[in-house]
A and B are shown apart, each in its own frame.
Chain A
Amino acid sequence: MNQEVAQAYWKENIATIIKLLVVWFVVSFGCGILFRDALNSIEFAGYKLGFWFAQQGAMYIFVILIFVYAKMMEKIEEKYDVHE
């Protein structure tokens, strides 16, 4: 495999990781901790939103994030023909 393809693949890989990590940070440290008080004034179905993110919501999103990542990487690897 040539160097250029490898580098292009790596760049796209990093970009994907960064995008997903932004979501990871926003739902946990953002919604669950830093903006908790502001979000707690919003309520839905008996949950206070900030509290919900900290105790449940962030975890649901974490699970989805990993599966989305696996799927995205599969596509990228096929695109650059570096899959196993």
Chain B
Amino acid sequence: MGLQALIYLFVGLSFALYIGIAIWARAGSTKEFYIAGGGVHPVLNGMATGADWMSAASFISLAGIISMQGNDGGAYLMGWTGGYVLLALLLAPYLRKFGKFTVPDFVGDRYYSDLARVVAVICVIFISFTYVAGQMRGVGIVFSRFMQVDINTGVIIGMAIVFVYAVLGGMKGITYTQVAQYCVMIFAFTVPAIFLSLQVTDTFLPQLGFGSKVAFHFDDGVRMIDKGTYLIHALDQSIKDLGFKAYTDSISGTFNVFMLTAALMLGTAGLPHVIVRFFTTPTVKGARISAGWALLFIAIMYTSIPAVGAFARLNLIKNVQNVDYQAFSKGEAKHLDGTINNGAWFKTWEQSGLLAWNDRNGDGKIQYAAGAAFEGNGKPQFIDKLGAHGERLTANPKPAHTASAEQMRASGKVVNELYVDNDIIVLANPEIAGLPNWVIALIAAGGLAAALSTAAGLLLAIATAVSHDLMGKVFYRDAKTGLSKLSEKAEMRWARLSSVVAIVVAGYLGIYPPGFVAQVVAFAFGLAAASFFPAIIMGIFYKRMNKEGAIAGMLTGLIFTFGYIIYFVFMGGNKADYLFGIAPTGIGTIGMILHFIVAYVVAQITPPPPKEVQEMVEMIRIPRGAGSASAH
């Protein structure tokens, strides 16, 4: 069967599965819609949380980022997993005992204030939308690259699928679909990773292949790297030869890596669509264990990601360094051991614009090294012409030089001719490694599973914030009893209506991306770290914290983080003016510290919270009597 047919088959089958599950798991009540009835088994809940957590970015981009950043990529790995330890130890069991539906529920009740609740709702909506736009874009990209449909059509198909199971099934539908999506995703990531590991290191498990010896000789353009060198050493040596920093060295410096890791960890523990996951388990004990399962399922993929990144970097050097472009793209080039080095993939990805070659010394061979291959902003601007060897030409000025491959080898200074987009590391890796077609088809289904599962979780968080927190708890609240005046049915209608609106907005953002999707992710994490994390922690562990302190703290954290990111990312702030040299991606950590300080000081000079609230804090600290979650 051809590659296209296989891709359609795999993607089609996975979609049919998701929709089937959605129909089977329709939600009948608000409790089912918001928290899947509160009776999801911890292992299944952990699996669903894992799928929810691992986004299109984790699946498609993370290995690529690590591949290019080496050591510093560890910030993402530790940050996106370490947050679960904070969740399990500091938040999950208490929020489960609190026993309601949402994060704004907790903030609003614990700080006995509608203002706090509304601030929380706005944060949830903002954080979730920034995130979901990226997912929809991810869906579009996978569709366009693997199935030859237009990105926009891809986004619309993705919207339709999510629509079916999120609107029909709510949290219940989403949870069971995500269990299936986790299985698809982990299979799709692990199979090519195992193939690669066997190919590069003769070791079955990629996690162990990472620390094994390279199974082939290769020429990095400056020297020969011997078979039997440890993978890490081979990488360190070869990329140092090519003018990069060693793979195990830090590029951005210890301090920035520290701040970024902290912001990602704290952000993870403050993201509303993740926190809400722990409302769905039957018991407090279940919430704790469920966080463990979630992290285990995440770690299965996250520990193979750095291995895939390393294999990919090595394979790239091995396959393209000093290879004759024409022979390569026709599938006639050979590796040192005489096997065919088929560069058909290079043509495919050059066509999609994610790869480009600039034959600066005119020798017809590709050279890969540090530095920009294209002048201007470093990205190729393709024109509709082919060069002497059949490569796509660009409008970028061409800084030519005359050094031949042999002269560069002798001087140890290779000049870069290659543009590589990080995303192709996962997407093109199976093709680069020459893996069979069905493995490539798997990657397409896996990428879609990753994007759709995360998008659904986020859309639900938005819908719940609107229907439950805003409509039920603010607009339609009975002033006397403090309860929602909406009937169960009416609230469900609001929930479904707001998920429809959220999906449409998300789709719009996917089709017309604001142009800074990558940067806004820093926003989501920074804001979650600076707003929810401290507010919830103090709500549980500091009984004296009152509404004045909490509101002052949240606003301080939000405004500081928001302002810093806006100034340095969108208003062209100068790097030299960074506070203590901290990049905007890591500023959430400072926002969080400010939040804690301001909240503490304000709480000291204002009256303590009322007695009922203090009793509530005591109640959530003791697991006994958790019962099932209730609306009131």
Contact = CB atoms under 8 A, between A and B. Distances in A.
Chains A and B come from one and the same complex: yes
Interface of A: 1, 6, 9-10, 13-14, 17, 20-21, 24, 28-29, 32-34, 36, 40, 45-48, 50-52, 54-56, 58-60, 62-63, 65-67, 69-70, 73-74, 77, 82-84
B318 interface: no
A67 B303 CA distance: 18
Nearest to A67: B292
Given A21-B85, A58-B78, 16 more contacts: A6-B621, A10-B621, A17-B89, A20-B85, A24-B82, A24-B86, A34-B258, A45-B211, A46-B212, A47-B210, A55-B66, A55-B77, A55-B210, A59-B302, A67-B289, A84-B624
A66 B88 contact: yes
A54 B78 contact: yes
A37 to B, nearest CB: 8
Contact of B248 (A51, A67, A69, A73): A51
A9 B624 CA distance: 12
A59 B623 contact: no
A59 B299 contact: yes
A55 B207 CA distance: 10
B295 interface: yes
B306 interface: yes
Interface of B: 66, 71, 73-75, 77-78, 81-82, 84-86, 88-90, 93, 207, 210-213, 230-233, 248, 250, 254, 257-258, 261-262, 265, 283-285, 288-289, 291-292, 295-296, 299, 302-303, 306, 541, 618, 621-626
A59 B434 CA distance: 30
B241 to A, nearest CB: 18
B333 to A, nearest CB: 30
A40 B89 CA distance: 30
B622 A56 contact: no
Contacts of A77: 623
B84 A29 contact: no
A65 B87 CA distance: 12
A55 B74 contact: yes
22 contacts: A1-B622, A20-B85, A21-B85, A28-B265, A32-B261, A33-B257, A33-B258, A33-B261, A34-B258, A46-B230, A48-B248, A54-B77, A56-B306, A58-B77, A62-B299, A66-B295, A69-B88, A70-B88, A70-B292, A74-B285, A84-B283, A84-B625
A33 B257 CA distance: 7
B85 A40 contact: no
A82 B623 contact: yes
A9 B74 contact: no
Find the residue from B88, B231, B262, B541 having the highest chain A CB count within 10 A: B88
B303 A59 contact: yes
Interface of B is mostly: helix
Given A63-B295, A73-B288, A84-B626, A32 B85 contact: no
Nearest to B541: A14
A59 B78 contact: yes
Contacts of B625: 84
B84 A66 contact: yes
A28 B623 contact: no
B299 A63 contact: yes
B85 A24 contact: yes
A82 B624 contact: yes
Nearest to A23: B85
A67 B541 CA distance: 22
B295 A62 contact: yes
B285 A84 contact: yes
A33 B81 contact: no
A67 B250 CA distance: 32
A74 B289 CA distance: 11
Contacts of A67: 289, 292
A63 B303 CA distance: 12
Contacts of B262: 29
Most buried by B among A28, A50, A67: A28
Given A62-B84, A63-B299, A33 B232 contact: no
A71 B230 CA distance: 38
A47 B248 CA distance: 10
A11 to B, nearest CB: 11
A28 B82 contact: yes
Contacts of A24: 82, 85-86
Contacts of B210: 47, 55-56
Nearest to B265: A28
Contacts of B230: 46
A3 to B, nearest CB: 9
Nearest to A74: B285
A65 B82 CA distance: 10
B206 to A, nearest CB: 10
Closest 7 CB pairs of A and B: A54-B74, A46-B230, A66-B292, A46-B211, A55-B306, A70-B288, A51-B248
Given A63-B295, A83-B624, A33 B285 contact: no
B16 to A, nearest CB: 33
B211 A40 contact: no
Contacts of B88: 66, 69-70
Nearest to A35: B254
Contacts of B77: 54-56, 58-59
A72 to B, nearest CB: 10
Nearest to A55: B306
B622 A9 contact: yes
A60 B85 contact: no
Contacts of B295: 62-63, 66
